[in-house]
Structure 1
Amino acid sequence: LEGKGTGWCTAGHSTAQTQIESGDFYVYYTNDSSGEPTQPRLAIRMDGDNRIGEVRGILPHQGVESTMQEALDSKRSEFGGEADAYRKKSEDMRMLTALEKKCEEDVQFTKNDLILLYEINGTIEGFGYQKDPRISELRQGRNTEEDMLVIFECVREQIAHVPSQINGNTKAYVGQLEPGIFQKLPENLEHVYTSFPEKKIRRENVEIGGKSAEQLISEMEAAGINISNYAKSMLKNREFVPGKNPEEATLIRLTVADLGFKSSATTDQIYERAQILGLELCLADTGPNYRLKYRNQPLNEWIYMGMKQITDSDGSPFVFELVRDDGGLWLDALWAGPGIK
Structure 2
Amino acid sequence: MGIYPDCRMITRTIEVGGLTKSQLYAKMQQYSILMNEYGERLFFDDRFPTSNTKYSLKTVELNVRNLGFPDGATTDHIFKKARDLGLDLCPLEVGPYLRLEYLDQPDSHSGIPSQHQAPTGSITIAAEVIAADDEFPKGFYLRRMNGELWLRGYVADHLHVWSPDDHFIFCHPKKP
Q: TM-score scaled to structure 1, two decimals? A: 0.41
Residues 309-334 of structure 1: CA deviation (Å, up to 9, x unaligned) = 23398753421010111151101011
1:311 equivalent among 128, 131, 134: 131
Aligned to 2:153: 333
Q: Which runs of 5+ in 2 are unaligned?
A: 109-120, 162-176
Letter paired with 1:215 = Q
Aligned to 2:144: 324
Q: TM-score scaled to structure 2, two decimals? A: 0.77
Letter paired with 2:98 = Y
Determine if contact 2:39/2:137 at 8 Å carries over to the other structure: no
Structure 2 counterpart SS, 1:320: strand
Aligned to 2:33: 225
Q: Distance in 2 between matches of 1:332 and 1:321?
A: 5
Letter paired with 2:95 = G
Q: Does 1:276 align with 2:84?
A: yes
Query: Greater RCO between the two (CA within 8 Å, min separation 6)?
Result: 2
Report which of the two structures shows the higher radius of gyration computed on alpha carbons: 1
Aligned to 2:47: 239
Percent identity for Structure 1 against Structure 2: 30
Aligned length: 149
Q: Which of the two has greater helix per residue?
A: 1
Structure 2 counterpart SS, 1:307: coil
Q: Which runs of 5+ in 1 are unaligned?
A: 1-173, 182-192, 195-199
Check 1:223–1:272 CA distance in 2 against 1; reply closer, same or farther (3 A cut). same
Aligned to 1:255: 63
Q: Distance in 1 between matches of 2:106 and 2:70?
A: 25
1:18-57 → structure 2 map (5 Å cutoff): none
Structure 2 counterpart SS, 1:338: coil
Residues 258-289 of structure 1: CA deviation (Å, up to 9, x unaligned) = 11101121000000010011011100110000
Letter paired with 1:331 = L
Q: Distance in 1 between matches of 2:18 and 2:158?
A: 30
